[in-house]
Amino acid sequence: MADLKSKIESNAAVVGVLGLGYVGLPLALEFARKGLRVRGFDVDAGRVRALRSGRSYIGDVASSLLREQTAAGRFRAEHGFDAVSGCDALIICVPTPLRKTKEPDVSYILSAASEVARRLAKGRLLVLESTTYPGTTRELVLPLFEKRGMKAGKDFFLAFSPERVDPSNPRYRIENTPKVVGGITPACGRLAAALYSKVVGRVVRASSAETAEMVKLLENTFRAVNIGLVNEMSLMCHKLGLDVWEVIEAASTKPFGFMPFYPGPGLGGHCIPVDPHYLAWKMKALNFEPRFIELAGVINGSMPEHSVARMADLLNRRGMPVQGSRILVLGAAYKPDVNDVRESPSLDVIKLLLDLGAEVSYHDPHVPALTIGGKKMRSAPLTPSSLRRADLVAVLTAHSGVDYGLVVRRAKLVFDARNAAKGLRAPGLFRL
């Protein structure tokens, strides 16, 4: 342990990052930026080619930074796994999706950990960052190394550290977001903390890997449940003829005991719609019913249908059926100013509208093309003429740089599910 800790502290350690997506690539470049040599591994050959040519596909990673670290010899993208054997510390940042049955799919974790287990020499550190249920690190990853006769805390070091990436957040980046780490043994935790201290200002030690795994699930379940609450509040306000956004804004003036969350057309991204179900699955296996998680999932999952029903009602008031109506959707990504469409509710809304026979187009400056229900679509320009042509404009993602004042002035009907037109009033403007 002392040798590896010394190599980390002196920047002599080689860090390997498995999975170069929204979590792995920024982390890899941050280690490189702090002076360590980094090897990034990905099974997607196209990603590796892009990185080797100096082109970043992640909005939060500038291509100039990538080229700078590559030219300095501090970062190299790898397609195969042979270079894993030359790494002193390895961090797994692979996807953890849900199966159609809402069960965890940990196959990517097992595949990556198996590749490491076949090559890891003694005295090395492995950290899992992929979000998963409590017990994964100890119950699934650890046995892969124990089969080779290696003992955690002695022959190698194993820990879990939940990722805390918020794409496009200009305020909180890797270096100023505290990092939680939990080791299989105390020695594992200490070594993982030493590694992350190279790139993060504050490292928080958890007592175990299971605690660290649970921390991530609490963080995202907290958000899912509170978003579910405010989504239900928006449904109630609609029934009562009230503006939920005004209610939230007024409630936010209370300086204690209240934290604002905001409604929308549904949940999107790689965390909030998925992670709570990892915890729910684990608890059901222990004969415990996670009622808050289940209820929030039902409410949040119903919001795309509710949004389409609101649009249909607005068109009906103008004597127009959904079938044949021209509907322009603003925003395909799941959140502002990113190109990530994973679990985006906009895709669900577009699919529902297409199924009802609507003529749907979309505008998103970050998502140039989509395929939904077999239909290939390209982002349409947002112009006064395209706004006038639409029978209804639906704001589903509030990207910065879009003139929502123009949208309200030129469109016949606007359904604003994100309060993008905050402060604006017009006869044809309706909020979620």
Report the catalytic residues. 271
**Residue 385 host element (H or E):** helix 384-389
Q: Which is nearest to 306 in space by CA: 239, 242, 381? A: 239
131 and 96 Cβ atoms separated by less than 8 Å:
yes
Q: Nearest to residue 131, comparing CAs of 277, 313, 299, 300?
A: 277
Residue length, the chain? Answer: 432
Instruction: Tell me the sheet residues that pair with 90.
Output: 16, 126
Whether 207 and 182 have beta carbons less than 8 Å apart is answered as yes
> In which residue are the tokens 């409604």 written?
263
Residue 333: how many CA atoms within 13 Å on its side-chain side? 17
Could you tell me the CA-to-CA distances from 187 to 15, 141, 159, 184, 217 in Å, in that order? 19, 17, 10, 8, 24
Give the distance between the most distant pair of CA atoms in the chain: 75
Q: Where are the beta strands (DSSP E) in 207-352?
A: 326-330
**Contacts made by residues 420-424, CB under 8 angstroms, sequence distance 24+:** 420/330, 420/395, 421/395, 422/245
Q: Are 32 and 41 in contact (CB under 8 A)?
A: no
The helix (H) or strand (E) run that includes residue 18 is strand 14-18
235 membership: H or E segment, kind and range = helix 209-240
Tell me how far CA of residue 367 lies from CA of 42, 200, 336, 340, 364, in angstroms.
Answer: 23, 31, 11, 8, 5
* Alpha-carbon separation of residue 223 from 83, 284, 387 (angstroms): 39, 21, 34
Q: Which one, of 153, 156, 161, lies nearest residue 128 by Cα?
A: 161
CA distance 318 to 313: 9
- Could you tell me the CA-to-CA distances from 2 to 5, 8, 69 in Å, in that order? 5, 10, 28
SS3 label, residue 179: strand
Strand, helix or coil at 103? coil
Do 413 and 391 form a contact (C-beta atoms < 8 A)?
yes
